[in-house]
A and B are shown apart, each in its own frame.
Chain A
Amino acid sequence: MKSARLAVDIGGTFTDLALEVGGTRTTAKVLTTPATPERGVMDGFRAIVAAAGVAPADIELIIHGTTLATNAVIERKGARTALITTEGFRDVIAMGNESRYDQYDLNIVLPEPLVPRYLRLTVPERLDNTGAVLRPLDEAAVRALIPLLRQEGVESIAVGLLHAFVNPAHERRIASILHEALPDVPVSLSSEVSPEMREWERFSTTVANAYVQPMMASYVRRLETELHAAGAVAPLFLMMSGGGLTTIETACRFPIRLVESGPAGGAIFSAHIARECGLENVLSFDMGGTTAKICLIDNFKPQTARTFEVARVGRFRKGSGLPLRIPVIEMVEIGAGGGSIAHVDSMGRIGVGPESAGADPGPACYGRGGRHPAVTDANLSLGRYDPGRFAGGSIKLDVGAAHDALLADVGAKLGLTAELAGLGVIEMVDENMANAARVHAIESGKTYEGRTLIAFGGGGPVHACRVAEKVGITRVLVPSGAGVGSAIGFLRAPVGYEVVRSLYQRFSSFDVSAVNDLLEDMRAEAEAAVAKGSFGAPTTETRTAYMRYVGQGHEIPVPLPNYVLGNEDIALIRARYDGEYARFFDRPVPGSDVEIMSYAVVVTTAVQDVRAPGREESLFATEAVPARTQLVRDTTTGAVSAWAIYDRTSLAPDATITGPAIVAEDETSTLIGPGWTATVNGLGYIEMVRV
């Protein structure tokens, strides 16, 4: 029996599959079938099994990620959901933080809550900040809501009470009353979904969980049934936004943790490439048709965060979405992709995005009716694409249409030729991505010195060198297989689970035994979740405390030792905090006490070890032979010259190329800028270095 592993990634347009057996990888792409997503998955399943020549029963593990939960929230296609909350706090999810995400726009639209006001119901009860009962739960008032819930046809219920993360008793009691009366309606508790301080974020997360739960649970069960019917006996695992895998059971309880699993797969793909090539500090750069996503990866682990915004109404603007407090791989998404449209603002400045021409009509050069210049048009005008070979020759690019659009919307307004307008557009989009990357590093307390940029997606390899130059990176890697990067990433993900709990303490009165009890509890919960999928594989545990100076508002993560803490460890933890704080912000504050807000425990199976191919200089380096030349305009100097063009498929390992040059392949082009040299490594990846 062969031991094959299958990954399935459902995206908005395509469902990607990747199957690995005995070191051989087969991939497949089928159209997503939004109404019944399992249909698309099964089409792909049959195709890939046949192509790889394996029997369904030979598959030992199936890993699945999907944007279905995200799309349900964006498109408002979730369950009819009610929220039961503390009397006096009916509007927490509507009032948010009472601010506007744009100070100067009088016409902004704020996101509509997922539960309308008439389904936000309150019950008398109140806890204080220590969890003590200020007002007992009025159980009769809970029961009195049941006829309304029935009458309104409510399909899912969220319960969010103030301070319930400290004391969940009232929420649990409400759940049991609801279960008795409405046994078929799922209930999400804020004390389970997101047990952390800050009622808006916690309630918003709980409501979103309830909103997607019926649909996700039903879909996952249907898929499982169909896979079994097709002869697959392997367990099904789901990819979480935090980068770990989980069981069906956990996924059905906390489906909100599945949001953004596709991009998480992309980050894990990058992390895997980093591990293969022994790169300890990486910037993952995934540029597609409408957005670019960047993620910092240190020691082969993508950076993680605990908050996330979904369904932004303000065009990628921070603060314009619904907040979710769940473990996520931290990514910055910028409205900058091949389809992003360029314009000139009232100050005569070139702007790019976030509006996108999408796939239809697409950039002007697609010749499908797009009238406005997109980033792809600008790249074409600079000579970076061969109009006859774009996307493997499946789309013939219309250079004239690109020029016309650039001239009309940008050039004419600034007195620039179409080519120089194109140069301005590319420089500006590269600058925007670099600025976002720089701010992200600041927020993370990291730098770009010594980091390698890993570029993938349709646009990543085209823009990588210039973005790298702008943030001060001197090494760029373009892997192969980037078209289904997320699915491949799933195959590299560990089975893992993260538990986060709040326990507020000041350092000056640190209660070691309370912390030990809490951490032990959390470890047990995380291990139980992982045990269902790890089949006894060895696991590792990491513990983190979120700490800050008393009075500050933003915690920094501080690693904790994994053993039972003793009093002697207090000084050690404080020293680690001071070290981390100085690393983030340079200037420690003398004489201030430190407080601990919450803890995280992650239990995970070990990440597959990969043999690094070795990075020694090859004895057999050979200058690659270009297929042709093309006139290309350099964006830094503006000069036009004949650049060598190589076909990626004909490049052997150890082939070297001196920039400026372009390596063309079906899915993308890799631009090797002036001053950069490239080598194809043993894995077939293009490695570029700035000299």
Chain B
Amino acid sequence: MSHETNALAQIHRQIMWNRLIAVVEEQAQIMIRTAFSTTVREAGDLSAGIFDLQGRMMAQAVTGTPGHVNSMAESVGHFLAKFPAATMKPGDHYITNDPWLGTGHLHDLTVVTPAFHDGAIVGLFANTAHVIDIGGLGMGPEGRSVFEEGMYIPIVKCFDEGRPNETFFDFMRAGSRLPVELEGDIYSLCACNDAGAKRLVEMMDEFEMTSLDPLAAFIFDSSRRATLAEIARLPSGTYQGEIYSDGYEEPVRLAASMDISDDAIEVDFAGTSGLSSRGINVPPAYCRAYSSFGIKCVVAPEIPNNWASLAPFRMKIPDGCILNAPRPYPVSVRHVIGHLLPDLMMSCLHQAVPERVTAEGASSLWNPPLRGGGSISGQARGNKPVVADFEIITFNSGGTGARPTRDGLNATAFPSGVRTMPVEATENVAPIVLWRKELKPDSGGAGRTRGGVGQIMEIATKGDLEFAVNASFDRIAHAPKGREGGLNGANGRVAQKSGTILRTKGFQVIPDGERLILELPGGAGMGDPAARDPVLVARDVRDGLVSAANARDLYKVAVTDRFAVDAAETARLRSGGRTPAPPV
């Protein structure tokens, strides 16, 4: 009978774990439905989770983006260090945007809320969201220290036992270009933690729980064992990889040495370039976040994120390298380099489990912060017409890397988990016109499986008046690299419509009569292009995604006028130009 009792208890713990994941999912959904910033509600640049009283993440919403998730996992401990759990009261909400205590730049707000059951604090809800404006220079690489990049919020109470901290909100409203959105977003973050806490109490009542600790122990134990089992399946060894970013002043090398042992994966970033004087530096928590994400996608994608499932992935980040930026180095667009980390991890893992790894993709999100109005170059002084003041950011993606058995995804975000906004919605919130946003032919790297295709955007203001872009784009000088004989994806390009090439990083004015052209990179290919199924090549030619010339030159496939495979000519091309011998 005691065996049966234990078995029942085991089943019930599983049910409770399942419920906890549903609770944090509700928390994230509430945030999306109530948030003001398009970055949260349209793009989904957020995360939500529940933590035990030691600050260990127990469960995290499936909805959300990896950079937030894994760095938020570290964040709660910092809140508890400043405000011990014993001092927290019902109705309290704590907030910060400290890049080193939160998720890596000032635009991300992290809110932590204690949850109470029967008068005792039992756990903490946390969430993170990217707001559109936090004052300062605005999102972009131009700051030379974090102090220029916006308002710096230390860990403070924004609600004290349910009462808003009006002094705090006064500062927020005064310091942002978009005070209504900022304040609304903070309310939304608090509301979604409240909703999580309410659900947690209902759950604890239903399952007659007095503490989360036994459940936490069960979750951590199961997750750790499962993760270690996956690691044990990998061939042990030390694997090296490197990748280059265009950088701001000069190219940046990211180097990794990955040591896979029986019970851990340890990555040493020795050999990585030093710090930049501009905002592309990466705080260490953000480096750990995207590195773990890249490893996890390959090694243990099915295991839910929590403290224990992330613990076996350890990072050694040398002091003074760009992945370990200390305060007060500028970090505003740390994603440009951070988004390359999964590709770097996969370069190492490719040596261990090639069949589970993709080719490199565009990876770094292309999210142009656009600004317009009289202040850009002072045109209003000269009585020239200017566009109404606006500040906007949109999220756009190039192609993802080819996969071992499937093509890469066209114009799709990876590793970031964000969504793009409808063009019609963008044009409703700012006086801009997107003249073009469509796939870019011949940009996917050729291979047995093809890299995802990138895209082209053409951006102007209404009336083609002056505006500015705070560029933070990558993969222009360093294209995504193919694997196993697959070719590189197309490089990115940033230019004015007339042809003038723009810098890939930094604040630049697009003058009257000009438009901004963004060509987003394609993903790289995997395997020999001449091994690709000719029918797929012909389909791509018909769809205009691959030119007939590239089909012939790269894939060695000849396509007829009616878009069928010319079998004889293809056989000739694929046999090195010789007419193949007739079959015996």
Which residues of A are at the interface with B, using a C-beta cutoff of 8 A? 87-92, 94-95, 97-100, 103-110, 116-118, 126, 128-129, 134, 162-163, 197-201, 345-350, 414-417, 420, 423-424, 427-428, 431-432, 435, 438-439, 442-443, 470, 472, 504, 549-554, 584-587, 589, 591-593, 637-638
Contacts and interface: CB of A to CB of B under 8 A. Distances in A.
B18 A428 contact: yes
Residue from B34, B64, B410, B414 having most chain A Cβ neighbours under 10 A:
B34
A198 B428 CA distance: 11
Contact of A346 (B30, B302, B406): B302
Contacts of A103: 62, 64-66, 417
Interface stretch (B109-117, B178-186, B278-286, B490-498): B178-186
A201 to B, nearest CB: 8
Interface stretch (B7-15, B80-88, B260-268, B475-483): B7-15
Interface in B183-236: 183-184, 187, 190-191, 194-195, 199, 202, 206, 222-223, 225-226, 229-230
Contact of B413 (A98, A109, A438): A98
A199 B423 contact: yes
A432 to B, nearest CB: 7
Nearest to B543: A117
Nearest to A430: B15
11 contacts: A106-B356, A117-B439, A163-B427, A197-B425, A416-B7, A428-B18, A438-B199, A470-B206, A551-B36, A553-B35, A638-B7
Nearest to A425: B11
A88 B42 contact: no
A207 B304 CA distance: 37
A655 B386 CA distance: 80
A26 to B, nearest CB: 43
A640 B414 CA distance: 51
A110 B407 CA distance: 11
Interface in B287-301: 296-298, 300-301
A550 to B, nearest CB: 7
Given A107-B405, A350-B11, A552-B36, A589 B4 contact: no
Contact of B435 (A88, A414, A554, A638): A88
Q: Top 5 nearest A-B pairs by Cβ distance? A: A553-B41, A88-B436, A117-B543, A551-B36, A435-B22
Contacts of A118: 542-544, 563
A424 B48 CA distance: 28
Contacts of B14: 349-350, 424, 428
Interface string B402-431: 010110011111100111101111011000
B547 interface: no
Nearest to B13: A349
B412 A349 contact: no
Contacts of B226: 346-348
Residue from A95, A350, A423, A637 having most chain B Cβ neighbours under 10 A:
A95
Contacts of A91: 410-411, 438-439, 455
The B contact surface, by secondary structure, is: helix
A103 B184 CA distance: 28
B507 interface: no
A556 B58 CA distance: 32
Contacts of A99: 44, 412-413, 417-420
A584 B188 CA distance: 12
B422 A197 contact: yes
Contacts of A90: 438-439
A540 B543 CA distance: 50
A88 B412 contact: no
Interface string B431-444: 00111111100000
Given A94-B410, A95-B455, A99-B44, 15 more contacts: A89-B436, A90-B439, A95-B411, A98-B420, A103-B62, A106-B301, A106-B403, A198-B422, A423-B8, A428-B14, A431-B19, A438-B22, A439-B25, A551-B178, A589-B187
A549 B41 contact: no
B390 interface: no
B332 interface: no
The A contact surface, by secondary structure, is: loop
B66 A89 contact: no
B545 interface: yes
Interface string B1-38: 00011011011101101110010011001101111111
Given A98-B397, A346-B230, A585 B11 contact: no
Nearest to B426: A129
A200 B15 CA distance: 38
A98 B36 contact: no
A98 B419 contact: yes
Contacts of B178: 551
A198 B397 CA distance: 19
Interface residues of B, number: 98
Contact of A100 (B12, B18, B414): B414
Given A197-B425, A439-B29, A638-B4, A549 B405 contact: no
A150 to B, nearest CB: 15
B253 interface: no
B532 interface: no
Nearest to B229: A346
A550 B36 CA distance: 8
Interface in B510-565: 542-545, 563
B29 A197 contact: no
Given A431-B15, A438-B22, A89 B423 contact: yes
B458 interface: yes
B448 to A, nearest CB: 16
Contact of B30 (A92, A100, A110, A442): A442
B11 A198 contact: no
A586 B11 contact: no
Contacts of A553: 32, 35, 38, 40-42
Contacts of A586: 191, 194
Contact of A104 (B302, B409, B423): B302
Contacts of B304: 347
Given A99-B412, A200-B422, A552 B184 contact: yes
Nearest to B223: A347
A346 B14 CA distance: 13
B176 interface: no
B303 interface: yes
A411 to B, nearest CB: 10
Contact of A116 (B406, B418, B543): B543
Contacts of A107: 403, 405-406
Contacts of B298: 106
B147 interface: no
Given A110-B412, A162-B423, A554-B41, A104 B22 contact: no
B96 interface: no
Interface string B306-347: 000000000000000000000000000000000000000000
B41 A552 contact: yes
A251 B219 CA distance: 52
A432 B18 contact: yes
A349 B34 contact: no
B32 to A, nearest CB: 7
A334 to B, nearest CB: 12
Contacts of B411: 91, 95, 98
A424 B11 CA distance: 6
B337 to A, nearest CB: 20
Contacts of B418: 99
A209 to B, nearest CB: 19
A118 B544 CA distance: 7
A428 B410 CA distance: 37
A95 B419 CA distance: 11
Given A117-B544, A554-B41, A585 B301 contact: no
Contacts of A442: 26, 29-30, 195
Contacts of B438: 88-92, 95
B358 interface: yes
A117 B541 CA distance: 10
A446 to B, nearest CB: 13
Contacts of B395: 98
